[in-house]
Amino acid sequence: MIAPDHELPISSQAKLLNISRGTVYYLPKPASSKDLAIMRHIDELHLQHPTMGARMLRDQLNRQGFKVGRRHVSTLMKKMGIVPLSCQKNTSAKHPGHKIYPYLLRAMKIDRANQVWALDTTYIPMAKGFVYLTAVIDWASRKVLAAKVAITLEACHAVEVLEEAYQKHGYPQIVNVDQGSQFTAEAFVSLVTQSGAQISMDGKGYWRDNVFIERLWKTLKYDHVYLHAYESVADARSKILEFLAWYNTQRPHSSLDRMTPDEMYFKILPPALKAA
């Protein structure tokens, strides 16, 4: 994005992109091996006990032999994109200037493919380091429509995943996401609304609002991620996408009458879309 050899000085380029000049020169410090080990355990604990906040996670980590304080746990949780689940509303502030949309799925009957899509991003540990996985699934069939492995939580990755799903599967009626800044960003919101779809956003800390993609993360991590030590981003990307392809075509679900996501998706796809 920033071109050092451009006729415009770097300070002017940074101003046009609405970022500070210091950001251009900033080199991120990789997480230490100790922090990576702690983050791996936080990820596992969060899957098992999603209501645990920084204090409880600290206590659990201390019992496992990790000498870590609450503030450091909180910092790592933010880096991982993890938020404890809670029944309390407004437990954290939204991104300044980003609009939050209402949750539209409560009491809605969802029984057609491409009626509702859901997006989310999750933390993926590697042998040395970590990445983020963003995916979009069809709510009724659980089919993973598109996915991307990236090294940041920027909105551009959510945009690319949704664009890929549009290209392959058409457009949904509703896109459901959480209140993460990558999903409230103007670029993502515009992509959804310009397609004619509505945006639905989870209530803060309401795990039921996006339950099916949360179940996908749990299956992916326990059946695959925790069994592999990815050597690189490319290795993680290749193996995760291979697993998701298997999940779509080979893994039956009891809630889908023992059909796979692919089988259910095409069964409940409206006839007009099948013909297209």
Q: What is the pLDDT of residue 92?
A: 36
Under 8 Å between Cβ of 183 and 119? yes
pLDDT exceeds 70 at position 103: yes
Amino acid letter, residue 262: D
SS3 sequence of 163-216: HHHHHHHCCCCEEEECCCHHHHCHHHHHHHHHCCCEEEECCCCCHHHHHHHHHH
pTM of the model: 0.80
Mean pLDDT of the chain: 86
Shortest CA distance to 35 belongs to which of 67, 81, 82? Answer: 67
pLDDT exceeds 60 at position 94: no
Question: Which range (97-101, 109-113, 170-174) has the least confidence?
Answer: 97-101
CA distances from 211 to 38, 42, 96, 196, 240 (A): 26, 20, 27, 24, 20
Range with the largest mean pLDDT of 4-13, 137-146, 149-158: 137-146
Question: Which range (16-25, 52-61, 111-120, 249-258) has the least confidence?
Answer: 16-25
Element (H, E) at 249: helix 233-250
pLDDT exceeds 80 at position 172: yes
Q: How far apart are CA 20 and CA 96, in angstroms?
A: 17
pLDDT exceeds 90 at position 138: yes
Please give the full DSSP string across 14-26, using - where no structure is assigned.
Answer: HHHTT--HHHHH-
Question: Which range (32-36, 95-99, 115-119, 195-199) has the least confidence?
Answer: 95-99
Q: How far apart are CA 113 and CA 172, in angstroms?
A: 8
Average pLDDT in the 126-146 region?
Answer: 95
Greater model confidence, 236 or 13: 236
Count CB neighbours of 49 within 10 A.
13
Q: What is the pLDDT of residue 30?
A: 74
Q: What is the pLDDT of residue 90?
A: 37
Percentage of residues in the chain with pLDDT exceeding 70? 82
pLDDT exceeds 60 at position 140: yes
Count CB neighbours of 88 within 10 A.
9
**Radius of gyration of the chain from Cα atoms?**
20
Q: CATH says 116-275 is which class?
A: alpha beta
Amino acid letter, residue 144: V
Residue spans of the domains in the chain: they are 10-80, 116-275
Q: Angle at Cα 14 formed by Cα 9 and Cα 19, nearest 5°?
A: 165
Give residues with Cβ within 8 angstroms of 95, minimum separation 6.
Answer: 181, 184, 185
